[in-house]
Amino acid sequence: MNARTSPGASRPSAPVTLLVLGSDPLPRLGRLTGRARIEYADDTTLAERLPHSDVLLVWDLGSRALRRAWPGEGPRPRWVHAASAGVDHLLGPELAASDTVVTNARGVFDRPIAEYVAALVLGMAKDLPRTLDLQRRHEWRHRESQRVAGTRACVVGSGPIGRAIVRTLKALDVTTALVGRVPRTGVHGPLELDRLMARADWVVSAAPLTEETRGMFDARRFGMMQPSARFVNVGRGPLVVEEALAEALSKRWIAGAALDVFQHEPLGPDSPLWDVPGLIVSPHMSGDTVGWQDELSAQFVELYERWATGRALSNVVDKKRGYVPGH
C-alpha cells in the first residue's frame, strides 16, 4: 500500500504536501511554513491534485467537489479536515469506505450559534421584525410582546452546538429538553421527540445531517406543534422539508420560524422562501462571528501539529454515522 493511503503509516521522509481546497480569504497557515508544502486547489483542479497530497484541508465550506473528485482506490490523502461542523457535503461513499481519517471543526461554532439562536428567540418573542418593518413605514403601533422566561424549548441535536444552545436558553429561564440519537442522562431519545415538540414554544434544530435525520421536520411534525410555537433551524438545510414549513406558516399552523441553512445555498432571489409570512431568512451566518476564520486556522494548525508528531487526532468523525461520536 502506498504510504499516502494509510493514516497509520509512518510519516514520509519527503515533505508533507498539504492541499487546501478554498479561495480568498485563505487560511492563516504561517506556523506551518517550512514544515509542509502547501498547495491550493479549487473545484476544477481538486481531482488532479488529490492523489499527490498527504493532507486535505477543506476550507471552502460550500464546495461539494470532494464527493466527485475522491480518487477511490488510488493514492489519496491520509487525513481530511473540514473547516466546518457538518461533513455531509464531503463525505461521499468512497471517502467513507476508505481508511482516510476525517476530522471537523467541532468546538469553534458552539457559542456563536447558541447566541444567534437566543437572539432569534428574543427577537421573535419581542416582535422585533415587525417593529423594524413598522419603523420603515413610519407607523406607530403599540403592541404587547411575549415573555421568554417560563417558555419551553425542544432542542434537537445533542452535540456541542445543541448543548450550548440549551445552556444559553436556560440562562433566559427557558425550560429546555435536549433530544439526541441515544437517550441518556440529560438527553431524551428520538422516540420522545414528537411528545416534546407538541409541548414546546420553541423547536430548535441543531442535528447533523444523516440518512436518519434528512427531512425529519416535515408536514406531520409541523402539524403537531402548537399554533403559538416557533421553529428555528441552525443545523443542516435538508433536515427540513421547506415546502412543508412554508405551508405550515402560510396556514398559521405555527406562529413563526427562522432558517439559517437551506437545502440549496445560496438561496436564489426567486426562491418563494423570501416571502413566506412569519419566516426569518439569514444567509448561513449563525456561527460566523468576527475572527471565526482565524479560529478555524488555529484549530487546524493545532491538529496538524498533533498529526505530524504521530499523536492521536481529536474531532475524528465516525464516517458511518457522519459526525463526531460521543454526543
Mean pLDDT of all residues in 71-80: 91
Peptide bond into 71 cis (omega under 30): no
Q: For the chain, where are the E strands, in sequence order?
A: 16-21, 36-41, 55-58, 79-82, 101-103, 152-156, 175-179, 202-205, 230-233, 256-259, 279-281
Q: Is 52 helix (H, G, I), strand (E, B) or coil?
A: helix
* Band of residue 326 on the pLDDT scale cut at 50, 70, 90: confident
Name every residue whose Cβ is closer than 8 Å to that of residue 30 and which is 6 or more positions away in sequence. Answer: none
Output DSSP code: residue 51. Answer: G
| Residue carrying the nine cell digits 440549496 | 264
Mean pLDDT of all residues in 208-217: 96
Indicate if the pLDDT at residue 189 is higher than 80.
Answer: yes
Share of the chain above pLDDT 70, in %: 95
Confidence at residue 74, expressed as pLDDT on a 0 to 100 scale: 85
Name every residue whose Cβ is closer than 8 Å to that of residue 145 and which is 6 or more positions away in sequence. Answer: 125, 126, 127
Q: Alpha-carbon torsion 32, 38, 42, 47, what sign?
A: negative
Indicate if the pLDDT at residue 4 is higher than 70.
Answer: no
* Active site residues per annotation: 236, 265, 284
> pLDDT tens, 107-159?
999 999 999 999 999 999 999 999 999 999 999 999 999 999 999 999 999 99
> pLDDT tens, 281-322?
999 999 999 999 999 999 999 999 999 999 999 999 999 999
Indicate if the pLDDT at residue 9 is higher than 90.
Answer: no
* Band of residue 14 on the pLDDT scale cut at 50, 70, 90: low
CA distances from 174 to 59, 202, 295 (A): 36, 9, 30
Mean pLDDT of all residues in 26-42: 95
Confidence at residue 327, expressed as pLDDT on a 0 to 100 scale: 53
By DSSP bridging, strand 279-281 and strand 256-259 are parallel
Indicate if the pLDDT at residue 167 is higher than 70.
Answer: yes
What average pLDDT does the chain have? 94
* Band of residue 72 on the pLDDT scale cut at 50, 70, 90: confident
CB 238 within 8 A of CB 218: no
Indicate if the pLDDT at residue 275 is higher than 70.
Answer: yes
